[in-house]
Structure 1
Amino acid sequence: MRLFYILDVLATQQSPLTPSEINQHLNWSKQTVHRLCKSMVEEGFLQYDVNGKRLLPSTTMRTLANGLLTSDWHASAKHQILEKLSGKVKETVNFVIPERPGMIYRDRVQTNWAFQIHLPIGSHVPFYCTASGKTYLASLSPKNRRTMVESLHLEAITANTVNSVESLLEELTLVQKQGFALDNEEFYVGMIAIAVPVLDPKGRYHGALAMHGPTLRLDLSSIKDHYNDLRSAANQLSELIFSV
């Protein structure tokens, strides 16, 4: 059971930690923590960061955690929440979570409009120029947020893409305060989007609920009118995903 306490510390702190830093939250014997961490690395559930000092969940652990959340009866109910939201906003809606390559589309409901933007389930999109990605970046602590942003290749995908570290950090501060993020044709010319975070019971980031559509039908003012619908649906998702 002690292994789960170590994983809980890593999940709560949301950053790589040394065994000694982990033990600051557990107050066990130093030898015990180091032994358990070594065992978890050997079994493939934890791995060291690029500097070889701090521990973080391995790909195996992330896959296991994601599987526990997605391979259950909740999947159909979660999809129905998206169906209901899409019917209300009359646009495509997506449930997106962060992975190392970027934000990944876990579920979506496509609008029936003739003009559509095709981003199928399983697609990865960048953190820095998508509404969902910005909600994730904004959820990080200021220190981790800066580190993350500075590590990104801020390519100007469109003329509207924010590709300055300081400008993006300024926007992310606003996202954190207002509780939603926008994509103003930053990832795809002719498409705008809005996203809100989906949080766990402790207020920690899990994913994002987003809607997008073409500028032929939407503008930044009208898309923000759907914030309350998105927030309500995101709360429903949180209750469902983390229900006992």
Structure 2
Amino acid sequence: MGAQTLSISEETEQDLTSPISKALVVLDAVALAESPPRFVELLNALPLSRATLHRQLRQLVKEGMLVHDEVHQTYSIGMRVLRLAHSAWSRASLASVARDSLDHLSAQIPETIHLAVLDNNQVLYVDKRLPPRSVSMFSSPGKIGPAYCTGVGKAMLSALPEARLAEAIRAQSFQRHTAKTFVNEKMLRDELARIRQRGHAFDDEEHEDTIICVALPILNKRGEPIGALSVTSTTYVTSLDKMVETYLPAMTVAVQEISENAQIALGV
């Protein structure tokens, strides 16, 4: 296994005052690694001493939060974390509220459907529906994606109040993923203005070549975004204009249903 670069957020770096916060720092680093990291990679990435990191890893493995691969000497997220995540999503999240609406929408639309929320100013995919014919793409439930170049991300950003929007934009990396990626704040803000005007967002091959989508924000009773829904396809199959014409009416109904159900079930 080759060396990899691990990183942690400034917020995480500042919170190392208790064993729990140290354990969470380790879990975050393992979860965000591109591939299961070795001890030395974690040691180089985290502001923890060798002894402290050994103790944390040993305890997290013992508790089932991490798994240690004895052959490759790497660490990965354990089933206990996955069970906790599944329980949280199934009982108290937008995913549970939206399940029936997504199923109904999937029966009407032969394309990939995503449900996402903003998490730490990035996109967290929380549910997905695949058609019988589907294409490989980045997104999957539990995966984090950029907000500035995805349909669901821009849909949610477009509905944020200015103070929150400014904070979210500062958190974007603005890396160029394709020739169409918005790579600075002005480009993104111009696009968000267009989204507010037309009422829906696009991903026009901005995150992945050939992948296109139409997205709508899901709003709470105060008009703030609690999530977003998108229908995703490929330029080999259709166009954005055709997707809007064909799918937007059913998407609008689904988003309204999810919003109303979330207000009741989650009190948002």
TM-score by length of 2: 0.61
- The answer on 1:148 being equivalent to 2:168 is yes
SS in 2 for 1:195: strand
Deviations 1:47-67 (A, max 9, x none): xxxxxxxxxxxxxxxxxxxx8
Structure 2 segments unaligned to the other structure (5+ residues): 1-20, 22-86
Question: Could you tell me how far 1:206 is from its partner in structure 2?
Answer: 0.4
Cα gap change, 1:70 to 1:176, in 2 (>3 Å): farther
Following the alignment from structure 1 to structure 2, what is the Cα–Cα distance between the partners of residues 92 and 160? 21
**CA–CA separation in structure 2 for the residues paired with 1:103 and 1:74:** 14
User: 1:175 aligns to what?
Assistant: 195
Tell me, yes or no, if structure 1 residue 233 matches structure 2 residue 258. no
Return the offset for 1:192.
0.2
Equivalent AA in structure 2 for residue 142 of structure 1: E
Q: In structure 1, what is the equivalent of residue 108 of structure 2?
A: 88
Task: Please provide the CA RMSD for this pair.
Answer: 2.7
- Structure 1 219/75 Cα, relative in aligned 2: closer, same or farther at 3 Å? closer
Q: Distance in 2 between matches of 1:97 and 1:231?
A: 17
- List runs of 5+ in structure 1 lacking aligned partners: 1-43, 45-66
Please tell me the residue identity of whatever aligns with 1:96: A
2:245 maps to 1:200: no
Which shows bigger deviation, 143-152 or 161-170? 143-152
Runs of at least 4 residues off by over 4 Å: 67-70, 72-77
Matched, 1:212 2:232: yes
Aligned residues: 181
Question: Which has the larger displacement, 114-123 or 216-225?
Answer: 114-123
Structure 1 position 164, deviation (Å): 2.5
Q: Which amino acid aligns with 1:161?
A: T
Aligned 8 A contact 1:116 1:213 in 2: no
- Which piece of structure 1 moves more, 217-226 or 109-118? 109-118
Farther off after superposition, 136-145 or 101-110: 136-145
Question: Structure 1 length as normaliser, TM-score?
Answer: 0.66
Deviations 1:157-182 (A, max 9, x none): 00111113212101101112222100
The corresponding residue for 1:38 is none
* 8 Å CA contact 1:101, 1:124 repeated in 2: no
Aligned to 2:133: 113
Q: Distance in 2 between matches of 1:193 and 1:150?
A: 25
SS of alignment partner, residue 264 of structure 2: coil
Which one of 153, 164, 179 corresponds to residue 133 of structure 1?
153
Whole-angstrom CA distance in 1 between matches of 2:90 and 2:199:
25
Structure-2 residue corresponding to 1:243: 264
